[in-house]
Chains A and B, each alone.
Chain A
């Protein structure tokens, strides 16, 4: 393979050899180190391939052996160039195109953001713009490590960030703090503040394990949102069981409580829905930078229809994206259809909705203990009501109010210190 590419670029010829003693000529060639390949005998004459370089050295040998050569075919790049010698602009165009593509690959044309859930893609994109590292920036101007650091310092929720450049693609991977405010406080702990833990919502405490602070409730207690659960104040008693001082700390505890969620949902039993008929037509939009070319569908879609758009960014190689996007627009013809749900269908739909609701709760780290759901049919609507008993962490950190007691004794002690 490699050898044939080299041969192509050097150029070679298919020649026909006639004469009195062709064998002698062939021996002379090998003695002069002239490479000949694909030698074929065709009765009266021989045919073989020879490189341009070798062909130029053949003249004295031909004279010596009294043989004649006819060129049958010219193959290779030098002949290609010769044939198109008058089309200089064409070659210039090819070279210019390659150079332009190479130049384009020094920019960022695609930004891929992974791992963000609370911070939106738009927020990160505008952050990048602010840092002059947005779409279309020269790659050499981007400092990945600096960007990572800035991302972490700007957004407290980002606990890990990685910025990579592959080709013309910038990949941003971030890890967000999904555990909520708890860890948020943990970083504040180092700042040595005083924090109480208060109830986030109404609940019945199921278990409380206090590591730091004074617990104000015990298992089985009913608390309301905002009630103090663990106080950051530690009372210091003297020998006669009198409070002489308060010490404030950042309280730390695991508090679980039983909470109740009410669930309400209703939907009509009769409704109209768009249903696809299966007829589709396609249109295309080509974006070159901010320039847009629209190719409308061949057959005009019938009203009503659903539109489905698909974006494809063009790439010249894997990860080498260029600022051109093709948008494929699918028009699916549809008809309006009246749908009446039977009771079993309605129940099924209600069930699906509930499961989705429960799934969302579980994603927040809430444990579902049991659920009571009632389904009622009234005036052509389906009403779903229910309560869900759950077990979850209910603590929330709040800065403590610091109060000091000034007993005579205490001030004395300080004076003596």
Chain B
């Protein structure tokens, strides 16, 4: 797998998270939303779950591939 030099998110279906400062977060390669309210967002990815906690969490947009979360992010946690 390493020798092929393929992107890992494609091969493993790994979740991609990019966070800009504390206010903005872009999640790609996720499966679905498990829970959503103002203080926490629970997302399902292929191999794990993602728990985002914060204040005033707000989903700017979401599609099948990616979602954008704005608000004040306190923590990002991985669960199995």
Q: Is A344 an interface position by the 8 A CB rule? A: no
Q: Is B34 an interface position by the 8 A CB rule? A: yes
Among A27, A35, A39, A42, the residue within 8 A (CB) of B32 is A27
Q: How many residues of A contact B (CB 8 A)?
A: 18
CA distance A26 to B34 in the complex (A): 9
Q: Is the CB of B37 within 8 A of A31?
A: no
Question: Which residues of chain B are within 8 angstroms of A36 by Cβ–Cβ distance?
Answer: 61-62
Q: Is A149 an interface position by the 8 A CB rule? A: no
Q: Is the CB of A41 within 8 A of B37?
A: yes
CA distance A37 to B60 in the complex (A): 5
Question: Which residues of chain A are within 8 angstroms of B34 by Cβ–Cβ distance?
Answer: 23
Q: Mark A20-49, 1 if CB is under 8 A from B, else 0.
A: 001100110011010111111111001010
Please give 10 more A-B residue pairs, beta carbons under 8 A apart, in addition to A27-B32, A36-B61: A27-B33, A31-B64, A39-B36, A39-B58, A39-B59, A39-B61, A40-B59, A41-B37, A41-B38, A43-B38
Q: Is B79 an interface position by the 8 A CB rule? A: no
Binding site for B on A (CB under 8 A): 22-23, 26-27, 30-31, 33, 35-43, 46, 48
Question: Which residues of chain A are within 8 angstroms of B2 by Cβ–Cβ distance?
Answer: none
CB distance from A313 to the nearest CB of B (A): 48
Question: Which residues of chain A are within 8 angstroms of B61 by Cβ–Cβ distance?
Answer: 35-39
Among A22, A30, A43, A48, the residue within 8 A (CB) of B63 is A30
CA distance A250 to B62 in the complex (A): 89
CA distance A272 to B27 in the complex (A): 85
Q: Is the CB of A30 within 8 A of B62?
A: yes
Given A23-B33, A27-B32: A33 in contact with B64 (beta carbons within 8 A): yes
Q: Which residue of A lies closest to B41 (CB)?
A: A41
Question: Which residues of chain A are within 8 angstroms of B63 by Cβ–Cβ distance?
Answer: 30, 33, 35
The contact sample of 30 A-B pairs, CB cut-off 8 A, is: A23-B33, A23-B34, A23-B35, A26-B32, A26-B33, A26-B36, A27-B33, A30-B63, A31-B32, A31-B64, A33-B63, A35-B63, A36-B62, A37-B60, A37-B61, A37-B62, A38-B58, A38-B59, A38-B60, A38-B61, A39-B36, A39-B58, A39-B59, A39-B62, A40-B58, A41-B36, A41-B38, A42-B38, A46-B36, A48-B59
Interface residue SS majority, chain B: strand
Question: Which residues of chain A are within 8 angstroms of B58 by Cβ–Cβ distance?
Answer: 38-40
Q: How many residues of B contact A (CB 8 A)?
A: 15
Question: Which residues of chain B are within 8 angstroms of A23 by Cβ–Cβ distance?
Answer: 32-36
CA distance A36 to B63 in the complex (A): 7
Q: Sorted from nearest, which 7 A-B pairs have the closest CB atoms?
A: A39-B59, A27-B32, A37-B61, A41-B37, A23-B33, A30-B64, A26-B33
Question: Which residues of chain B are within 8 angstroms of A26 by Cβ–Cβ distance?
Answer: 32-33, 36, 62
CB distance from A2 to the nearest CB of B (A): 16
Question: Which residues of chain A are within 8 angstroms of B38 by Cβ–Cβ distance?
Answer: 41-43
CA distance A332 to B7 in the complex (A): 79
Report B19-46 residues with CB < 8 Å from chain A CB: 32-38
Question: Which residues of chain B are within 8 angstroms of A31 by Cβ–Cβ distance?
Answer: 32, 64
Q: Which residue of A lies closest to B61 (CB)?
A: A37
Q: Which residue of B lies closest to A23 (CB)?
A: B33
Q: Which residue of B lies closest to A22 (CB)?
A: B36
Q: Which residue of A lies closest to B64 (CB)?
A: A30
CA distance A12 to B76 in the complex (A): 33
CA distance A39 to B34 in the complex (A): 15
Question: Which residues of chain A are within 8 angstroms of B64 by Cβ–Cβ distance?
Answer: 30-31, 33
CA distance A160 to B58 in the complex (A): 68
Question: Which residues of chain A are within 8 angstroms of B59 by Cβ–Cβ distance?
Answer: 38-40, 48
CB distance from B43 to the nearest CB of A (A): 10
CA distance A347 to B30 in the complex (A): 92
Question: Which residues of chain B are within 8 angstroms of A37 by Cβ–Cβ distance?
Answer: 60-62
